[in-house]
Amino acid sequence: MSYYIQKNKKKFELKVKDILSESGGTAIVYNVQGTDDFVFKLYKDKKYATKSEAKLKQFINGFPSTELVSLKNLPIKGKFHQLAWPKNIVYEKNKPVGFLMPKISFKNTVQLNRIFSIKNRKSEKITEDITWRITVARNLADVYNTLHQSGYYVVDTKPANIRTYKIVPGVCLLDCDGFRLKNSPFEGDMITPDYIAPESIGKPPSQLGREQDIFALSVLIFQIFNNGIHPYSGILNKNETLPIQERIKKSAYAYGKVQNRIQKPSPATVHHMFPDEMLKMFSRIFEKKERPEASEWVSILDNLKKPSALSKCNKIGHRGFKKGCTTCAFEKKILNNNVQVKKPVTKRNVSNYFNNSPLPTKPKSNFEDLKDSISKFLFGNN
């Protein structure tokens, strides 16, 4: 195999080394000889690679110019990419097969859901000072805002496609070639259950945009501060089983001021300690179905980093919102409940979310539903 890139009508040979990662089922990411700055994403489907060439060219020419803006004031120097963006198309025998993109070190980053739970943050040696997660969430919102201003939509938002750095509270989005570009024939083709907005259900990813992104972004922000608890998870009022996506469809947000008719909040939730402006934002998005700009999240989170919005904690290394330390509050709830749990395995059929039929599920008791949800809270969504 002879891979190469073209620049100014000249060909430059590209030699691959070992596999860095399998990028879902669509591609393989290889390290490249002679550089530690870029990697090669090779599409498995040659027809898909040919189809993607025009889109990749448009993305390469339309790179969001404000990348790294939300990390520029950090006191640590280094390369902190926020977008694994296509840089050069890679060819083989005059046909496109993939592209070069910045290398995101998996050694120096973790998947976003690794900062959801106390257990995983401890494992990754990430602080329990709430300002770290505030900054991560703020950075994430800022990246979405930058993309939207440049006419790009993520659409398929999920923790698996977002890495967060271990030494700086910043993020990097992966699979950028799957984003949608406004007013372009090149569309996204993937979306993940549990992050699909109610108004997006039944629509193909090619028809989704900013509103879908804002809903999914807000779900992630809720999980970042509530130990992985999904805003549409909770204790069902009836002895039944409903997947998270079905609860989204039924407007089963259980963390507002008014009790939800479908379910009660998780007993492990600490949302009552969220600042009022954050609770109001979640209410706007999950109850009133508003879709504000991502810049509103940036402003809210900027204000929450101010000393006047924070409180000290008796535990070394801890700091919380003004209402108190959410880490200590969560640990106290788990201790009082004395719940013994194990990590669940969840399988989903993505295709079922493009019609209005609920997923076939095996009925479980309320206790089993509670146990599964608490285990998810403790171990995160991995």
Confidence of residue 289 (pLDDT cuts 50, 70, 90): very high
Structure tokens at 200: 């997006």
Q: Tell me if the domain spanning 105-352+359-379 has CATH number 3.90.230.10.
A: no
**Residue 100 in tokens:** 């070069």
Look at residues 220, 195, 28 and name the one whose alpha carbon lies nearest to residue 140.
Answer: 220
Helix axis angle for 326-337 and 366-379, nearest 10°, is: 140
Q: Could you identify the residue written with the tokens 């984003």?
A: 179
Handedness of CA 261, 244, 165, 119 (dihedral sign): positive
Q: How many CB atoms lie under 10 A from the CB of residue 318?
A: 17
pLDDT for residue 238 is more than 60: yes
For residue 358, pLDDT beyond 90: no
Higher pLDDT, 348 or 261: 261
Encoded tokens for 28 = 């393989």
Identify the pLDDT of residue 99: 98
pLDDT score for 78: 62
Mean pLDDT of the chain: 86
- Residue 51 to residues 54, 56, 58, 153, 250, Cα–Cα distance (Å): 7, 10, 13, 20, 37
pLDDT surpasses 60 at 66? no
pLDDT value of residue 252: 97
Task: For the beta carbon of residue 193, count every other beta carbon within 10 angstroms.
Answer: 19
CATH number listed for the domain at residues 1-103: 3.30.200
* Count of all residues that appear for the chain in the document: 382
Given a cut of 80, whether residue 24 has pLDDT beyond it is no
C-beta neighbour count of 316 within 10 angstroms: 6
Contacts of 51 (CB under 8 A, 6+ apart): none
Q: For every residue of the chain, which 3-state class applies, written as one string?
A: CCEEEEECCEEEEECEEEEEEEECCCEEEEEECCCCCEEEEEECCHHHHHHHHHHHHHHHHCCCCCCCHHHCCCCCCCCCCCECCCCEEEEECCEEEEEEEECCCCCCEEEHHHHCCHHHHHHCCCCCEHHHHHHHHHHHHHHHHHHHHCCEECCCCCHHHEEEECCCCCEEECCHHHCEECCCCCCCCCCCCCCCCHHHCCCCHHHCCHHHHHHHHHHHHHHHHCCCCCCCCCEECCCCCCCHHHHHHCCCCCCCCCCCCCEECCCCCCHHHCCHHHHHHHHHHHHCCCCCCHHHHHHHHHHHCCHHHEEECCCCCCEEECCECHHHHHHHHHHHHCCCCCCCCCCCCHHHHHCCCCCCCCCCCHHHHHHHHHHHHHHCCC
- Better-scored residue on pLDDT, 157 or 366: 157
Question: Torsion-angle region of residue 73: left (phi > 0), alpha (psi -120 to 50) or beta?
Answer: alpha
- Asked if residue 301 lies in contact with residue 137, where contact means CB atoms within 8 angstroms, the answer is yes
For the chain, domain boundaries:
1-103, 105-352+359-379
* Calpha distance 291→284 (Å, rounded): 8
Q: What single-letter amino acid sits at 351?
A: S
- Residues 103-118 have a mean pLDDT of 94
> Helix axis angle, 294-304 relative to 210-225, nearest 10°?
20
* Mean pLDDT confidence for 162-179: 94
| Residue 352 pLDDT | 42
Q: What is the CA radius of gyration of the chain?
A: 21
Same fold, 1-103 and 105-352+359-379: no
Mean pLDDT of 134-153: 95
Structure tokens at 359: 């997923």
Query: What mean pLDDT comes out for the span 40-55?
Result: 94
The pTM for the full model equals 0.86
32-41, 77-86, 283-292, 335-344: which has the minimum mean pLDDT? 335-344
Between residues 337 and 95, which one has the greater pLDDT? 95
Distance CA 84, CA 81 (A): 7
